[in-house]
Amino acid sequence: MRVSGLTTVYLDEVLRNIAVVATNSRIKMLVGKLKQLSLKRLLSVQIWKQFSHWLFWHSSIKRKRVRKLVERLTLLDPDVPIEIIDLRNAVFGKVCLGLKTVESESLLECVNAVQQPRGFEQVFICSIYPQILRRGFGVFNISSDQPHRIDVEISYLGHNEDLFFWIFEVDGNSRDDPAKTLVPQKHIRGNKCYLVYRLGVASLVESGDFNPLQWMISCQTFFNNIMVDLKRRNYQVTAASISDFELGRLSLLRRLYLDKLKKHQSLYERQNR
């Protein structure tokens, strides 16, 4: 009887161990299945997110609005290759997708203020436009009778709410060495001086390369180099009021930009705190 009791106790212990092992194995199996299900669900969610993102950008109201803006771009010269037309349209469209409606309209007005455009001058302005806004600068056109050239005045408010500015003369047909353009000319307006950069932008990227992203990067890098040059020159110039009609018109436009510039600079300062 004693032996039989010991045997029974031993068998009970074995059965309990078997039950524990079986339970652990079952739990591990269940955990494994849950992990597989979670992974499948995660992958499914990621796929749907990507699909939803693609669907949104290909059917959104914003993309439709941008396409309509592209259709309003000034026609390039008849002899301009289709690759440059596609490049100009692609860069403009990509930039507008990241802008507000009012900003996109302002950019369209800015790049359309050109006679006989070659495309590269518009690509340059489009590429640097987001950087201008992020820095809290204002930009508006200066009328020019020169073909394939966009003249813009870029400005910002100083600490004393005086307007600092310089001018870009962006030539879409010039293949000048970019290094030469970092030697600006000094001009006088009233009792103040300002700098004018003549920018040949047709050769910022190797000939035959019409990759929109590459052009945008090259233009933005070029713009940053100019900003470094301005800082090196300890740029301190302001606009002055002159009786000349055109300069008076520009002065009025600058005053209209004051509130907008203040808002941009406040936003820029908050983002960099």
pLDDT at residue 109, rounded to an integer: 94
Per DSSP bridges, beta strands 163-171 and 149-157 are antiparallel
Q: What is the 3-state secondary structure (H, E, C) of 114-138?
A: CECCCCHHHHHHHHHHHHHHHCCCE
Q: CA 94, CA 92: separation in Å to the nearest integer?
A: 6
Predicted structure pTM score: 0.67
**Tens-digit pLDDT profile for residues 7-51:** 555 555 545 555 545 555 655 665 566 556 555 565 555 555 655
Residue 13, class by beta-carbon neighbours within 10 Å (0-12 exposed, 13-18 middle, 19+ buried)?
Answer: exposed
Q: Which pLDDT band holds residue 143 (cuts at 50, 70, 90)?
A: confident
Q: What is the 3-state secondary structure (H, E, C) of the chain?
A: CHHHHHHHHHHHHHHHHHHHHHHHHHHHHHHHHHHHHHHHHHHHHHHHHHHHHHHHHHHCHHHHHHHHHHHCCCCCCCCCCHHHHHHHHHHHHHHHHCCCHHHHHHHHHHHHCCECCCCHHHHHHHHHHHHHHHCCCEEEEECCCCECEEEEEEEEECCCCCEEEEEEEEECCCCCCHHHHHCCEEEEECCEEEEEEEEECCCCCCCCCCCHHHHHHHHHHHHHHHHHHHHHCCCCCCCCCCCCHHHHHHHHHHHHHHHHHHHHHHHHHHHCC
Structure tokens at 135: 């820095």
Residue 268 main-chain phi, psi, to 5 deg: -65, -40
- The alpha carbon dihedral of 146, 144, 167, 149 has a sign of negative
- For tokens 């969610």, what's the residue? 45
Q: Which residue did the predictor score with more confidence, 224 or 257?
A: 224
**Tens-digit pLDDT profile for residues 91-141:** 999 999 999 989 999 999 999 999 999 999 999 999 999 999 988 888 988
CB 95 within 8 A of CB 130: yes
Q: Which residues pair with 152 in a beta bridge?
A: 141, 168
Mean of per-residue pLDDT scores for the chain: 77
